[in-house]
């Protein structure tokens, strides 16, 4: 159990070092359960206050801070959250009150992608 408390403290510390934009982007990306492209990240995380460029820069910062993993072995980079990081961020996201809106946005994107 001590290991879980230590991991939680490390995630808390990393999370609270994020800028508001970075934490918002990370929360929005936490609805993605598997690997995703930068295009998907931009479509999901941008809004009237966070631009596509903010998302692109934010993803880079989140990778640099080890909160997102990047796979650049192919021509298109893919990103993902580790399960423990995703679970932690989803909890924060639920507390933000925005989760339902972003989950609907993601569902709409999936619907359009499958059509």
Over residues 8-48, the pLDDT tens digits come to: 788 999 999 999 999 999 999 999 989 999 999 999 999 99
pLDDT at 94: 82
* pTM (2 d.p.): 0.82
Pick the CATH number of 2-114 from 3.90.1150.10, 3.90.245.10, 3.40.50.880, 1.10.10.10: 1.10.10.10
- Report the range out of 3-12, 46-55, 102-111 with the highest average pLDDT: 46-55
- Give pLDDT, residue 35: 96
Domain ranges of the chain: 2-114
Residue 53 · residue 62 · CB < 8 Å:
no
CA 41/CA 28 separation, integer angstroms: 9
């Amino acid at each position: 159990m001590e290991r879980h408390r230590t991991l939680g403290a490390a995630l808390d510390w990393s999370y609270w070092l994020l800028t508001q934009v970075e934490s918002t982007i990370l929360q929005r990306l936490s609805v993605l359960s598997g690997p995703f492209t930068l295009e998907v990240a931009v479509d999901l995380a941008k809004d009237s206050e966070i631009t596509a460029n903010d998302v692109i820069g934010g993803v880079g910062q989140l990778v640099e801070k080890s909160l997102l993993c990047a796979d650049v072995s192919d021509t298109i980079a893919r990103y993902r959250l580790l399960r423990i990081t995703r679970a932690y961020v989803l909890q924060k996201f639920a507390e933000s009150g925005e989760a339902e809106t972003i989950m609907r946005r993601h569902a709409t994107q999936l619907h359009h992608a499958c059509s």
